[in-house]
Amino acid sequence: MKKSRLSLKILAKWLFSLSLIFTNVLILSAQTADNKLLFGVAYYDEYMPYERLEKDVAMMKEAGINVVRIAESTWSTVEPQDNVYDFSHIDRVLNAMHKGGIHVIIGTPTYAVPTWLVKKYPDVLAVTAQGQNRYGVRQNMDISNEHFRFHAERVIRKIMEHVKDHPAIIGYQVDNETKHYNTAGDNVQKAFVQYMKAKFKTVDAINKAFGLDYWSNRINNWDDFPSMVGTINASLSSEFSKFQRQLVTDYLAWQVALVKEYSKPNQFVTQNFDFDWRGISYGIQTDVNHFDAAKSMDYAGVDIYHPTQDFLTGIEISFGGDLGRSMKNGKNYLVIETEAQGFPQWTPYPNQLRLQAFSHVASGANMLEYWHWHSIHNSAETYWKGLLSHDFQPNATYNEAKSIGKDFDRLSSQLINLKKQNEVAILFSNEAQTAFNAFSFGWGAKERYNDILRPMYDALYRMNIGTDFIDPSSTNFEKYKLIVVPALYAASDELLNRLNTFTKNGGHVIYTFKSGFSNENVTVRNSIQPGIINEACGISYNQFTIPNNVSLKDDPFQVGTENNKINTWMELVTPTTAKVLAYYEHPSWGKYAAVTENEYGKGLATYIACMTNAKTTENILKDALKKAKLWGVNQHLAFPLITKEGTNTAGKKIHYYFNYSAESKSLTYPHKSGKELISNTKIQNNQTIALEAWGFKIIEEE
């Protein structure tokens, strides 16, 4: 008996020691990920046409890949039938990657539903304005449906129970590129009515706020509340869109809470947010409130896709990075997807893959993952190529990736967790976006909110102005010297008064047309336009039109005849206290102002009343930046020479210089002497630096 008790004590001590070692492995794994730039790929062993897992791990290690993302697309593989599970493909990859020293991010598999679930519960498929979705594509479900939620929770819990103690895992991704998918079925409509009851209390309050007497849209009883699918009232449809975005925020927070019941303290949870899609990642996402949805995440994760070859500018990389960083108030972000080869027209020129990779890091990315490792041999994305082509053999892109992996590994301590202190921000608003998109510039107009926002961002990027994003929920307006406000069509009195106060206290604001026009309920203000901000802008208008053969008088921004023309929209502005920077050149509209600026308190408000050409927009912004004392040595360079900067964990300033062109370029380095990190060579102040085609330099100040 004594020997038995002694054996049990020894066994208990051994198990305890083993658990400590295991825990330390987990912690070390997470800490390693925290202290190293992550370089990785999405990996789908279940898609492979033949057994090659060990070969893939070996090729990944050769390329310096230290993380893979798995499982986010495989619900039907992990749960082939209702409550029947097969984790073999996950286990194989986890074990192989751990053996190879490669970290793993596990995705919850809920953005593509299995056939058996739809057969058992057809109502899982979302009902939209076009009717009920059909099975086949991904993201076709109603994320609020009770049957979907039950089975989504169950499969998440089953996966987490199975993998939670595996030492390879450093983090989890909940769902993927989540949006509301225009879900608008009966259950969603009922939930919206409850939302409206809580917010407005009475139907009379809704009728008044949204102008529902028009076309007999008045709602006289809660039981008569109509479906939003057919509404012609932009106020009501905008409120419904806001509610749908809240469904996404709640859904993702729900998944995060589930995952965190099982995850370890040093494992992160993220999401793969995507952007407005126009064949590339273009602008603010309409169907998700990124700032709200990111609150439950440890890191904001984004996917960024962009043109390459002769069309590579770096703008989309910078835009997605600046927005991703801003989602968490400046915290470093993760690039969960970007292309290696992608579409045939995206096969990169030599040096472009490296240029792209370090451009992500220069905006504050701590991870870069390609979608995906291998090219797929069938189905919808056959011709969206991965790092490897369809033959799985080394290619020029893979060989270039090997140099990225080596440099990421070598320079991690100097480049990770780059902190940026920008003094310019763009104020965007999902509510303004939805409202503006409902009307645009009149019947049949194709322009959308992002068509106003992106040219403003692009101009700042081309002038090497570091930029953050803020939204109406942001509490840090005061940290910026200049705020750019594109098409703030729908905004509360409170928000507009905040902007007035910001200006009065010494800030500079640049507004475009269609700002302040309606309140938060998309009801046009019946006061002087632009509503409330007219005080800071020192202007008024009550008419607008579509320009026909209109330019700016006397080419005030010195851009030449072609660039001086305006298009799409013009407001007929009369200055009250404002200085006119540009009048319209037109026999009827020539007395009206096109661009103004007004001193208000200690600050300055610029108002752009028309859609200007890209070069004119850039010069208007340049003028405002100079007046805000934001024109410095970095602005001696302009696209295609792009510079980014920040402070590393050692407190040293890092300067990136990128050449986004097919020709070699040179520049004069204007900052303190330091070391060029790629070549490990000394750089002196005022030294001439040569950049090869699609090349870059990274300089750490001494």
Q: Which CATH number goes with the domain that contains 459?
A: 3.40.50.880
Q: What is the pLDDT of residue 15?
A: 41
DSSP, collapsed to helix, strand or coil, labels residue 493 as: helix
Q: Closest Cα to residue 246, out of 299, 286, 289?
A: 289
- 586 and 501 housed in the same domain: yes
Lookup result for tokens 């090349």: 695
* Host H or E run for residue 657: strand 653-659
pTM across the whole model = 0.94
138 belongs to an annotated ligand binding site: yes
Name the burial class of residue 540, with classes exposed (0-12), middle (13-18) and buried (19+) by CB atoms within 10 angstroms of its CB. middle
Whether residue 338 contacts residue 370, with contact meaning beta carbons closer than 8 Å, is answered with yes
In a domain, 569, yes or no: yes
In a domain, 579, yes or no: yes
In a domain, 31, yes or no: no
**Distance between CA atoms of residues 254 and 252, nearest Å:** 5
Residues facing residue 518 across a β-bridge: 490, 524
- 343 and 380 housed in the same domain: yes
177 catalytic residue (yes or no): yes
- 566 and 442 housed in the same domain: yes
**Distance between CA atoms of residues 642 and 318, nearest Å:** 10
CA–CA distances in Å: residue 336 to residues 69, 173, 216, 366: 8, 9, 48, 10
Q: Is the dihedral of CA 274, 180, 277, 448 positive or negative?
A: negative
Looking at 379, 408, 437, the residue that finishes a domain is 408
In a domain, 155, yes or no: no
What letter represents residue 187's amino acid? Answer: N
Residues facing residue 689 across a β-bridge: 667
Structural domain of residue 683, as residue ranges?
635-701
DSSP-derived letter for residue 227 is: P
CATH of the domain at 403: 3.20.20.80
Q: What is the CA radius of gyration of the chain?
A: 27
**Distance between CA atoms of residues 289 and 451, nearest Å:** 19
- 477 and 437 housed in the same domain: yes
Q: Is the dihedral of CA 378, 383, 385, 388 positive or negative?
A: positive
**Distance between CA atoms of residues 456 and 614, nearest Å:** 8
| Whether residue 640 has a cis bond before it, omega within 30° of 0 | yes
346 belongs to an annotated ligand binding site: yes
Q: Closest Cα to residue 363, out of 276, 468, 279, 463?
A: 468
Residues facing residue 302 across a β-bridge: 273, 335
- 473 and 600 housed in the same domain: yes
Looking at 408, 439, 466, the residue that finishes a domain is 408
In a domain, 399, yes or no: yes
Q: What is the pLDDT of residue 32?
A: 42
CATH of the domain at 692: 2.60.40.1180
Looking at 572, 605, 631, the residue that finishes a domain is 631
Catalytic site residue from 72, 239, 316, 337 = 337
430-439 helix and 234-260 helix, angle to the nearest 10 degrees: 140
CA–CA distances in Å: residue 335 to residues 368, 634, 656: 5, 26, 19
In a domain, 506, yes or no: yes
- 624 and 657 housed in the same domain: no
571 catalytic residue (yes or no): no
Structure tokens at 103: 């970290």
In a domain, 41, yes or no: no
Provide the CA 524 distance to its chain's centre, in angstroms. 30
- 458 and 598 housed in the same domain: yes
Query: Strand ranges (DSSP E) for 92-138?
Result: 103-107, 127-128, 131-132
Pairing mode of beta strands 131-132, 127-128: antiparallel
Q: What is the pLDDT of residue 35?
A: 82
- 436 and 559 housed in the same domain: yes
Provide the CA 468 distance to its chain's centre, in angstroms. 12
92 belongs to an annotated ligand binding site: no
**Distance between CA atoms of residues 669 and 646, nearest Å:** 16
**Distance between CA atoms of residues 140 and 124, nearest Å:** 9
Q: Specify the number of domains making up the chain.
A: 3
- 627 and 646 housed in the same domain: no
Provide the CA 128 distance to its chain's centre, in angstroms. 25
Whether residue 255 contacts residue 173, with contact meaning beta carbons closer than 8 Å, is answered with no
What does the DSSP assignment read for 587-631?
TTTTTSEEEEEEEETTEEEEEE-EEE-HHHHHHHHHHHHHHTT--
**Distance between CA atoms of residues 509 and 502, nearest Å:** 8
- 531 and 604 housed in the same domain: yes
Question: Residue by residue, what is the 3-state secondary structure of 305-368?
Answer: CCCCHHHCCCHHHHHHHHHHHHHCCCCCEEEEEECCCECHHHCCCCCHHHHHHHHHHHCCEEEE
pLDDT along the chain (702 residues), means of 10: 41 41 40 75 95 97 98 96 97 98 98 97 96 93 98 98 98 98 97 98 97 96 96 96 98 98 97 97 97 98 98 98 98 98 96 98 98 94 96 98 98 98 98 97 94 98 98 96 98 98 98 98 96 98 97 97 96 98 97 98 98 97 98 97 98 98 98 98 98 98 96
- 464 and 574 housed in the same domain: yes
CA atoms in the 13 A half-sphere facing the CB of 106: 30
In a domain, 693, yes or no: yes
- 580 and 431 housed in the same domain: yes
Catalytic site residue from 79, 177, 431, 535 = 177
